Every structure is written in C-alpha cells, then in structure tokens.
Structure 1
Amino acid sequence: MADFDTQIKESQAQVAEAQAKISAITSRIEAARSKLDQGVVLDVENATLEDVSKHTDLMNANIAELIMGLDDVTAGFSAEFAEMRTKTGMESFIGIFSSAKAESMRQERMRAATIDDKLQDLISKSDVIVKLLQGQLDLLNVQKTKVEGNLAGTLVEREETVGALEAVRKEVASLDPKIIELENKISVEQDAAARTKLETELATLNAQYNALVQDEQVKLAKSQTLERYIEKGKTWVDSLQNQAATQLVLINKLQTDTKQRVVLYDALTSSLKTAQQQDVAHRINEIGVKTDQEAQTAMAAIGAATNDKMADMLEAHEG
C-alpha cells in the first residue's frame, strides 16, 4: 500500500471536515434552544443534514476502501509466503552445479524468513484507521449526548407549555358565556346606572379575554417552535446515531480482521516451519536410505570376500 499515507491524510481531512460540519449543526441547535423564548426559529434545514450525511458517507467509503486495501495486502502476503517454498532463480542456478548447496540455501532462506515485520506493519496501519474511526465515534457520541440533553429539557418544557396553553384555552372558553350573558343584560337594561355598571364589567371581561387570547397565541407559537426544535433535534440525533453505528461496524471489522490476521500469520509461520521440517526429515530419510544401501552393499561385498577367502582356504587344504 504505497499510497496508504496519502489515503490516510485524505481520510483525516474528510474526518476533520465532517467533524466541523457536525459540530456546527449541534451548535446551531444549542443556540436556537437558548433563544426559544425569543421565538427564534431553528434554521437547520434538511438540505444541511443531507449535506453532512453525504459527506460522512463519502468519508466512510474511503475508509472502507482503506480497510479492503489491508485485506488485499494480506492476500498478497499469503501468496508470497506460499512462493517461499519454491526455489529462487539463484538457487535453481546453483543447483545446476550443486543440488546440496542449492537446497542448503533454500533451507537457510526459509529458516530466516520472518513475517513479524509484515504483520506489525499491517497492524500499525489497522491501528491508524481504528484511531481515525474512534476519534469520529467519540465526537459523534459527544454531540449526540449534547443534543439528547437539550431535547430532554425541551420535551419537558413543551409538555409544560402545552399544559399552560390548554389551561388558557379553558379560561378563554369559560369567559365566552359570561361575556354573552353581560351583552344580553346590557341590551335589555333600561336603567342608566345599572347599564353603566354592566358595561364596566363587560369591559373588564373583554380586557381579560383579550389578554388571555394574546397569551394563548404566545403559548401556541412557543409550543410550535418547541415542536419544530424537537423534530429537528430528533432527526439530528437519529443521524448521529446512524453515523456512530457505521463507525462501530467499521471498527469491529478492523479489530476482527486484526485478530484473524494474527491467526493467519501464525498459520503461515507454522506452515513455513513445518515445510522446512518436512523437507529436512525427507532429506534425512533420503540420506538414511542411501546409507543403508551403501551398508548393504558393503556387507554384501564383505560377505563375498569372506566367501572367496574361505573357498581359497578350502582349496589350499584339499591340495
């Protein structure tokens, strides 16, 4: 992965940009929350959320590509280790003159072969990616906690606001029949003093009614603002939750891959050693067979010589 460092830098830049966008949205939500009493409308539009979503999708796709790159490298190493068992060009050339020397060179090469540096390189690359993902996950969790905390307080406030709104509406509704009753009394009252008194009472009720209606409108507007804030906040929390889930999936894949790579590399190491041991054992067996054959030949020669000697002695005795 010659371009791993370049890809990491690109991913780091994308993560930094994503974190800036995410923090900006959370800040806007928090700012709007602090100004709800002033009727400030939350200005986090769906387009903004979609922009963050698209950017994080691109970021995660690039990181996933890095992860798949590690898989490709691992597969390449597996093939490389398999080829270690075959003779190199130099060993084959030496073998023309001395097969024993060529085999000795191959055995030494296999004995010296190590995959620790390759394994550590892959693990270090994996750790770099995990660190990148973990940093993003930590930020997402912090932002989610902030928004959830604000939402919890806002839900309580909206519940209280809705309760107060309903209470005001009941008061307004209770004044309607009283006003109608006074208006009817005034319409039939002939006495000027009594009529004036009724009109004063009606004016008081109307003022109270108007104040309640105004209060109802204020509470309704606040309730609607809180509702919009809650809706946007929940959407943002869901987005943060989904992003965090994606980070966890990638982190778990990397951690699982790392464990599997250790197992694979241990297996490759054992395979190399086993192959070497098998080759040595085979060589020893070949040497043993050859020695046995030479011994048998020697014994046969000794036996033949002994027989010849005994035959000569018998002939001499008979003579």
Structure 2
Amino acid sequence: MSTSQFDKMIQDSQDTVKESKAKISSITSQMETAREKIEAGEDQGLDIENATLDDVQAHADLMNANIAELIMGLDDTTAAFSKDFDGMRSKSGWENFVGFFSKGKSESLRQERIRGANIDDKLQDLISKSDIIVSLLKDQLETLQEQQEKVQQNLTSTLDDREATVQELEAARAELLELDPVIVELENKISVEQDATARTQLETELANLNEKYNALVQQEQVKIAKSQTLERYVEKGKTWVDSLQNQAATQMVLINKLQTDTQQRVVLYDALTKSLKTAQQQEVAHRINEIGVETDKEAQTAMAGIGAATNQRMADMMEAHEDSMVFARDIIEKKAKADDRFARRFSAIVEKHDKNLYGG
C-alpha cells in the first residue's frame, strides 16, 4: 500500500468518524427532547425508529472496518520494515559481485544504499500514523462514553417515572375495585326502594359514585397511555445504550492493539538500528584490520584505549541486556493478546486480508 493511499484511508476514516459522531449526538438529542416532552406532559410520541438506530450501527461497523483495514496495513508495513532491516545487515547480490573486483567499491555501494533507505523517517512516519489513528479512536470513544452517560441518566429518571406511574395506575385500579361492589349495592337498594325521598338520596349518592368511578377510569386510561409511552422510551434507550456500549468495546479493542503495536514498533526500531550499527562497526573493524602493519603499529596505543572503552561498554550493554529482553518479551506477550482480541473481533476482515479475498 502506497503512502498516498494510506493517507487517503486515514482522511476517509477521519471523515467517517466525524459523521458517526454527528449521528450519535443526533439520536441522543432526540432522546433528550422526548424526555423533556414527557416531563412537560406534552405529546410523548417517540420518533426514534429502529431503522435509525440500525443505520447508526451500520455506519459504526463500516467506520471500524475501515480503521481495522488501516491497522492491518500498519502491520504489513511494519513487517516490510523488518525485511528491509534484514536486507541491510548483509550485502546485496550486486554488492557481493562488485566485491570480487573492489571491496572498497562494494562497501561504498552498501553504505550508499543504507543512507538512501531513510529508515528512521519511514519508521517515525509509521509510528506517527499509529498515533493519529489512536487519537482518532480515543476521540470517538470519548464521544461514545459521553453520550452513554447522558442516555443512562435519562433512562434512570424515566424508569423512576414509570415506576411512579405504575403505582398510581395500580392505586386507581384498586379504588375502582372498591367502588364496584358499593355501586352494585346502591343500584340494588334503588331498585327496591319505595320511598321517593330515600330513593332520591340513593340516586344522588349513586350519581356521585358514578362520577368518581368515571374519573378513575379516565385516570386509569391516562396512566396506561403514559406507562406505555415510558415503556417505549425505556426500550429505545436500552437499545441505544447497548449499541453505545458495543461500539465503545470495539473502540477499546482497536486502541489496545494499536498502542501495543506502537510499543512493539519502537522496540523493533531500537533493536534493528542497534543491529545495523553493530554490523557497521564490525565492517569498520575489518577495514582497520586490512590496513598495513605500519599503520597498525601507530594505531596500537590508541586502539588499546578504544578496546578498553569498548570492553567497558560491552559489559554495560550485557548488564542492561536482561532488562531489555524482559521488556521486549513483555511487549511481545501484550501484542499477542492484543492481536488475539483484534482477530476475534474482526475475524472477517482478518480473513479477507490474509487470503486476499477483496472484491469477492
């Protein structure tokens, strides 16, 4: 993958993340508006359809798939760097051929090739791209967590409201149950009452009870409607919270892999650079060894001092080697775990990458 292609993919991912954040904020805003209407006792219809939630989820999946492709590209580029370093440890076929005629020219060609490789800039560019993608993912994760907190707060309030509404509904129903036998009893009394005055009093009492009964029935209907609205709101909210949680989990997997990969690239760069320096020092030592005897004699005293310093440096390096190896192994173990989580989460993308199944 060329640098321009990779940069274009990063730009596309940035645009996709920006669009995703707008979609996520829009749905949360609709949730908040619905909540405000419920509190104000206004029209409590919810206009958040499943299709809208599905659209946001599909967009998030596409965004994460694009970023996963970027991560696979970073892995490929890192592997290519490792091969480049391996190639620089030894001479190329052409350099070996030239060496049959001129060792100096052969070494000159190799040094020119190493200088032209510009490994430092390439690897630093790779690490920089990793950092850009991590920053992108962290920004998206922060948005997801903010929106999740908002929706969760709304849900908590709505659940409390629904609980209170259901209690009021049950209280109205209980009162209706108590009124039923009283009304029936009054109706029976009226049916057998012969005295006009007493009958009138009973009918007045019945009218008052019927009025109260009808008011309770109306209250029951209102509470049922409100409970159903709150229930729909809760279900929509739960669906959205689940979606945000799933998206956040995916972001964390991607961030973990990228951060671990970046650590490994730093270790790789350090190890391979030291390897090249060591190889170059060995070549310089061979060339010094080829200088005439007279030069050797003149350089003997200086070389003895250099040798002592080299031995001291070698001892320091050997003492530090254990710590370096422990750190490197720790990074390798972390990378293996991060790779495993990434592969499980994005198995389809990994399979396409490994088997070159694009466009199928």
Instruction: Check if 1:21 corresponds to 2:18.
Output: no
Contact map agreement 1:39 1:221 (CA 8 A) in 2: no
Q: Aligned pairs, how many?
A: 291
Provide the secondary structure at the position in 2 that maps to 1:29: helix
2: distance between equivalents of 1:123 and 1:45? 42
Residue aligning to 1:313: none
Distance 1:288 1:266, change over 3 A: farther
Query: Once structures 1 and 2 are overlaid, which stretch shifts more, 183-192 or 86-95?
Result: 86-95
Aligned with residue 207 of structure 1, among 200, 204, 211: 211
Q: Per-residue CA shift, 1:168-219, capped at 9, x if unaligned? A: 1111111001101100100110000000000000000000000001001101
Describe the shift of the 1:72–1:233 C-alpha distance in structure 2 as closer, same or farther (beyond 3 A): same
Residue 127 (structure 1) aligned to one of 121, 128, 131: 131
- Taking the aligned partners of 2:266 and 2:78, their CA distance within structure 1 comes to 11
1:189 pairs, out of 193, 196, 206, with 193
Match of 2:13 in 1: 11
Identify the residue that residue 158 of structure 1 maps to in structure 2: 162
Residue in 2 aligned with 1:266? 270
What is the CA-CA distance between 1:134 and the residue it aligns to? 1.4
1:68-87 alignment, distance < 5 Å: 68-87=72-91
| Contiguous gaps of at least 5 residues in structure 1 | 293-319
Structure 2 letter corresponding to 1:257: D
1:301 counterpart residue number: none
Match of 2:251 in 1: 247
Give the TM-score normalised by structure 2: 0.74
Matched, 1:31 2:68: no
Structure 1 residues 252 and 85: CA distance shift in structure 2, 3 A:
same
1:223 equivalent in structure 2: 227
Same amino acid, percent of matched pairs:
71
Cα shift at 1:242? 0.5
**More relative contact order, 1 or 2 (CA 8 Å, 6+ apart):** 1
1:234 aligned to which of 232, 235, 238: 238
Amino acid at match of 2:17: V
| Cα-to-partner distance string for 1:81-134 (whole Å, 9 max, x where unaligned) | 111133357745753542134335546765897643222211111111112111
1:64-103 aligned within 5 A: 64-87=68-91, 91-92=95-96, 95-103=99-107
Report the equivalent of 2:171: 167
- What amino acid maps onto 1:144 in structure 2? Q
**Can you list the C-alpha shifts for 1:249-269, whole angstroms capped at 9, x where unaligned?**
111111100001111111111
Q: Single out whichever of 274-283 and 205-214 deviates more from structure 2.
A: 274-283
Q: Deviations over 1:228-250 (max 9, x none)?
A: 10011011001001101111111
Which structure would you say has the larger Rg? 1
AA at the equivalent of 1:203: A
Distance 1:68 1:83, change over 3 A: same
Shift of 1:285: 6.3
**Residue correspondence of structure 1 range 38-53 to structure 2 within 5 A:** 38-53=42-57
